Amino acid sequence: MGTLENSPSKVPYYRPIGNEVELFKQAYRHQLPVLIKGPTGCGKTRFVSYMAAQLGRPLYTVACHDDLTAADLIGRHLIGHESTYWSDGPLTRAVREGAICYLDEVVEARKDTTVVLHPLTDDRRILPIERTNERLQAPPEFMLVVSYNPGYQNLLKGMKPSTRQRFLALRFDYPIPSIEQEILIGETDIDKSLALRLVNLTNALRQLKDHDIEEAASTRLLVYAATLIKHGFDPVDACRAALVEPLT
């Protein structure tokens, strides 16, 4: 379920694109929840990991899915050797510890699950736990962050306006070629000329989106290709494995 994602002392690589770093810091400072929208592999999760490390806070990440229940987030009673005991879910642990809780692809979760977020996303900042009769008050250090890919939205899997309006929102997209080239070099340490060729190839593939392929090649896949090539893999085979086969 939810995992403690990173140590605050280790800062992952992230190249800011706009004012997202300052906006996130302001949201954290003023105890405001954040919603991040963007396509697959554009850096949403990396950004949250980077900001958690920058702010020196633990990060709990939950990959949302159809079977995610409120109990999965909040916690449940478990059977021990001699009695039952309460086990906190990732959301509850994040509230208790003053951590950042990140719900990835939140629209994949059941609607009755996301309702439990509402008391944490307004001025109350509380988490009621009915089964233990607790009413946790979130400390100033706690922050709730959610993300989703608007390209996958449909009538059954959209975020309700009443929920969206509880968050500040950031829109992510694939970076412009010069920045993507910089990211590629920063992530994999490949040379500048190879980075340029890979970025140009990826942008050519993105022109095929909605025509010959369903989804655009992501920055994540581009990093995969560069990593293979950097470590001696044949460039054509690397591009086929990272940029062609996953998309077709």
pTM: 0.88
Alpha carbon distance 4, 49 (integer Å): 11
pLDDT tens digit sequence for 57-95: 999 999 999 889 899 999 998 988 888 888 999 999 999
Q: Are 144 and 57 spatial neighbours (Cβ–Cβ below 8 Å)?
A: no
pLDDT tens digit sequence for 85-123: 889 999 999 999 999 999 999 988 887 788 899 999 999
- E strands, the chain, are 3-4, 34-37, 59-63, 75-79, 84-88, 100-104, 126-129, 134-137, 143-148, 168-171
Q: Identify the pLDDT of residue 159.
A: 76
- Tell me the CA distances in angstroms from 182 to 19, 190, 196, 198, 206, one per residue in order: 17, 10, 9, 12, 19
Among 84, 88, 94, smallest CA distance to 59 is for 94
pLDDT tens digit sequence for 36-60: 999 989 999 999 999 999 999 999 9
**How confident is residue 216, by pLDDT bands cut at 50, 70 and 90?**
confident
pLDDT tens digit sequence for 174-186: 999 999 999 999 9
Q: What is the mean pLDDT of the chain?
A: 90
The dihedral built from the CA positions of residue 216, 65, 157 and 131, taken in this order, carries a sign that is negative
Among 243, 225, 219, 248, smallest CA distance to 38 is for 219
Place of tokens 């699950």: 113
Q: Are 167 and 23 spatial neighbours (Cβ–Cβ below 8 Å)?
A: no
- Can you identify the CATH homologous superfamily of domain 19-171? P-loop containing nucleotide triphosphate hydrolases (3.40.50.300)
Q: Are 161 and 182 spatial neighbours (Cβ–Cβ below 8 Å)?
A: no
Q: Which two tokens stand for residue 166?
A: 């509880």
- In this structure, how many other beta carbons lie within 10 angstroms of the beta carbon of residue 126? 15
Average of per-residue pLDDT across 143-162: 77
Alpha carbon distance 216, 206 (integer Å): 5
| Domains in the chain: boundaries | 19-171, 177-244
Helix, strand, coil percentages, rounded to 5, for the chain? 45, 20, 40
Q: Are 87 and 81 spatial neighbours (Cβ–Cβ below 8 Å)?
A: no
